[in-house]
Amino acid sequence: MPVPVSDQTIYDITHVIQLSVAPVFLLTALGTILGVLSSRLARIVDRARALNDRLETATEERIPPIHAEMRTLASRRRLVNLAITSGTTAALLVCVSIATVFLGAVMKVNIAVAVALLFILAMGAFVAALVFFLREVLLAVRSLHLA
């Protein structure tokens, strides 16, 4: 037997959906950043493979610069991995906060503190992802040798 839906119930559900829209925009931003980070990681890995192949046939004088670039690439890879981990953590926290909003509305429980805490943690993780991303970009620019 269907449960009767009151105007208040529809209002409550509409309000919960409205509250969920802002975090969805945040998820879009996180997805974009994660895409950029994945591309940067792929380029770092491709460059490391190319250098590794070049190392096999390198002359004695070319080996130290190749090793130096490999060390820089390893540092960049670590920073990108930290940024991806932080960004993914932020996205997961946003998803959990959205689910918590819906659960709180359905169960008629005050979840304001939990949602606020999840959102603060998500933003902290997002800030960390951006800081790691900035550090990686600065390292890449610093290691660039223009003729």
Specify the DSSP class assigned to residue 127: H
What are the boundaries of each domain within the chain?
7-143
Q: Are 127 and 63 in contact (CB under 8 A)?
A: no
**pLDDT tens-place string over residues 75-113:** 999 999 999 999 999 999 999 998 998 888 888 899 989
CA distances 147 to 71, 73, 144, Å, are: 21, 20, 10
pTM for this predicted structure: 0.84
**Coil, helix or strand for 141?**
helix
Cα–Cα distance measured from residue 114 to residue 3, given in angstroms and rounded to the nearest whole number: 29
76 and 139 Cβ atoms separated by less than 8 Å: yes
Q: What is the pLDDT of residues 45-68, one digit of tens each?
A: 999 999 999 999 999 999 999 999
